[in-house]
Amino acid sequence: MKLALAGFAASFATILAVTLGFAAPAHADDLDAIRAAKVLRIGTEGTYAPFTFHDASGKLVGFDVEIGRAVAAKLGVEPQFVEGKWDGLIAGLGAGRYDVVINQVGITPERQKAFDFSEPYITSKAVLIVKSDNTEITGFADLKGKRAAQSLTSNYGRLATEAGAELVGTDGFDQSIQLVLTGRADATLNSSLSFLDFRKQKPDAPVKTVAEQDGGDASGILLRKDNPALKAAIDTALADIKADGTFAAISQTYFGADVSK
């Protein structure tokens, strides 16, 4: 009889709670679990310099790695990096392998349908790069009829084509710069962040930027949907590390410039 009455009471309480709108939430915010574990699990590639890579000693370093460490510190937890290939990195977040992804993940409408993002923390703009002694190309309009070294399927290649350039196919930034330096191409449209990294590594290379795209491609910290407390905490952490100079110091280390703006 006690079991029957208990069962009836429990059923009645459940019905009453649903009726009055007091049902328990179906999803607990990930921030609770992160703080309970005292660990922020961060998905990253580990093979994408200067953002996330291994130095000569084998240590995981990079701009995004340091941003992850700084954000974890502001949350009061330890960072734990989980490395994986780019093709499966975002899927790994959905599968619960980690709490966030910090790996230059561009904020796109398609990704926003399935995941949430922090506020943008870095933006890459297209810049027009030529040899230092080039005086003919001073803007995007001057690419018409010129040879532009580009990855053929990239957005930069599309921009160069739209400007009227003849494309010289390459495998990426490094090869594009080499073709410009050797005169096999007149210019390349490429990432402002990649150029800053190149300039830091090779400050005496005879190349320059002559134009910069308005706007750009923003990246954010990727997290699972329906985690407003975690998103708010990460956004606050990012704002704090920009305000206290941590972000600028990390930027100077990897780019030789403040890329917070």
* CB contact set of 26 (below 8 Å; sequence gap of 6+): none
Which pLDDT does position 154 carry in this prediction?
A: 79
Please answer whether residues 123 and 216 qualify as being in contact, where contact means their C-beta atoms are separated by less than 8 angstroms: yes
How far apart (Å, rounded) are the C-alpha atoms in residues 167 and 247?
37
Q: What is the pLDDT along the chain (261 residues), one digit of tens a residue?
A: 323 333 433 443 333 333 333 343 445 799 999 999 999 999 999 998 899 999 999 999 999 999 999 999 999 999 999 999 988 999 999 999 999 999 999 999 999 999 999 999 999 999 999 999 999 999 999 999 999 999 887 788 989 999 999 999 998 898 999 999 999 999 999 999 999 999 999 999 999 999 999 888 899 999 999 999 999 999 999 999 999 999 999 999 999 999 977
User: Tokens in use for 34?
Assistant: 């992160």
Q: Which pLDDT value is given to residue 215?
A: 83
Would the CATH topology of 30-123+217-255 be identical to that of 126-212?
yes
Structure confidence at residue 82 (pLDDT): 98
pLDDT for position 151: 86
Specify the pLDDT at position 214.
87
What tokens appear for 57 in the block?
Answer: 């000693």
- The domain spans of the chain are 30-123+217-255, 126-212
In angstroms, the Cα distances linking 161 to 134, 156, 217 are 20, 9, 19
| CATH number for region 30-123+217-255 | 3.40.190.10
Burial of 96 (0-12, 13-18, 19+ CB in 10 A): exposed
pLDDT value of position 17? 39
Digit-coded pLDDT (tens) for 129-178: 999 999 999 999 999 999 999 988 778 898 999 999 999 999 889 899 99
pLDDT at 123: 93
Pick the CATH number of 126-212 from 3.40.50.970, 3.40.50.10540, 3.40.190.10, 3.40.50.11900: 3.40.190.10
What's the confidence (pLDDT) of residue 37? 97
